[in-house]
Amino acid sequence: MHYYDPKWNNQTLTYDLDKHDWPTFWLGVAKEKFPEIESLETVHKILTPAQISELGRHLQFACGLPEFMDRVDAYYSEHVPELIDGKDWMIQRFFTIRVVIPNQEKEGRLLAFHQGIWVGNGLGLRTIWTPFTACYESNSMQMIDRELSQSITHDSIKENWTYDQLQEKCVENCWPVTLEPGQSHLFDQTIIHGNINNDTDITRWSMDGRILIKGGDYHRKLPGGYFRFPGERPDERPVDSSKIWITYAGWNSKWSEHLPLPMQRKVISEYCDKHNISINDNQFENEYFDMMPGLEEYIGIKKVDGIVLCSVYCLPDNPFKRHELLRKALQYNTELHFANELCSLRDENDLEHIKSIFEFVHENTPPNETLGFKK
């Protein structure tokens, strides 16, 4: 799939603000934490910097709640299909809410200039940036034209620019996005963007989210983990903690081979704590055994009731062996839980869900190779 689409080259999307009233929704979320907030634009006059940081954590937590997910799915589902010519797509699991106060640089809150491919995004991703307040001049996000973005990328890597050189070059060539509530800004992962110090007296609020187009490169942002399907929600079905549960880790797939076992087990542990799963034992697969005979034995011969893995990507890379293990788990009524994707395998619908995730997976070309520059 070709990564360039003019519909995502610093374009504006206008939507029905009455139908998707983001300013009112987020003001309500903010007032849950700080009832004294009167408007989004004046939050800096009400709260201290420390309180604004606390507010930010509250807003990010709200991004994982059903009410927000229902709203953002409705908004994206209304507009995304026509922007990607009807292709299948996934949506970012956890959005980012940004509260940019006046003179934010003094508080160390300045978002540096960057582009998506510098932070692990593949060329098959698209970004929808949605402000909830009027954005203009220095309080807005600053963009650099696409062609110049690529030139800066090539030169900065080839000539080993310092951080300050890169930022100064971007500041010299950027321009502000000018939007009102009811509009979003569309761009791809090759376009450099960032913030300069907000010299206005207005706090800017915005939301940025990404989609993955089926067939497009995702680089480090994996389908099923970083991205979910529209309408998909975390698996909240009850878990029987009285059963025999083990964790399973290893380096037996392309994804897990560089992921330290303590890191895998930390992700697994947080998942188990959230779902009240009491672990009886921690097991691991022998390295180089890519068909994962140990996991297969625990599913079948050494029958346990449930196994928690870090990710669906810890399963065998071989699709036939992966499907065989999943099918065997259903046959033996062994629950498989995948912490990174917030899902589990308990029935045929779950199997279809996992298969759907892997339909988005393919040989993934790093963006630097596609764009022709060396690291």
pLDDT of residue 2: 63
pLDDT of residue 9: 97
Same domain flag for 159 and 127: yes
Using CA atoms, how far apart are residues 35 and 188, in angstroms rounded to an integer?
37
Same domain flag for 175 and 272: no
Q: In b/e form, how buried is each residue of 250-278, taking b as 16+ CB within 10 angstroms?
A: bbbbebbeebeeeebbebbbebbeebebe
Same domain flag for 17 and 145: yes
Look at residue 236 and tell me if it is in a domain. no
Which CATH number characterizes residue 268's domain?
A: 3.40.50.1390
pLDDT of residue 13: 98
> In the structure, how many helices (H) and strands (E) does the chain have?
11, 15
Which CATH number characterizes residue 75's domain?
A: 2.60.120.620
Same domain flag for 53 and 123: yes
Same domain flag for 168 and 29: yes
Same domain flag for 208 and 319: no
How many structural domains is the chain composed of? Answer: 2
pTM metric for this prediction: 0.95
Same domain flag for 111 and 178: yes
Same domain flag for 308 and 181: no
Whole domain around residue 294: which residue ranges?
245-358
Look at residue 188 and tell me if it is in a domain. yes
pLDDT of residue 22: 98
Using CA atoms, how far apart are residues 77 and 81, in angstroms rounded to an integer?
7
Same domain flag for 16 and 163: yes
Same domain flag for 198 and 314: no
160 burial class (0-12, 13-18, 19+ CB within 10 angstroms)?
exposed
Positions in the chain short of pLDDT 50: 1
Same domain flag for 204 and 254: no
Same domain flag for 212 and 275: no
CB 104 within 8 A of CB 98: no
Using CA atoms, how far apart are residues 202 and 139, in angstroms rounded to an integer?
7
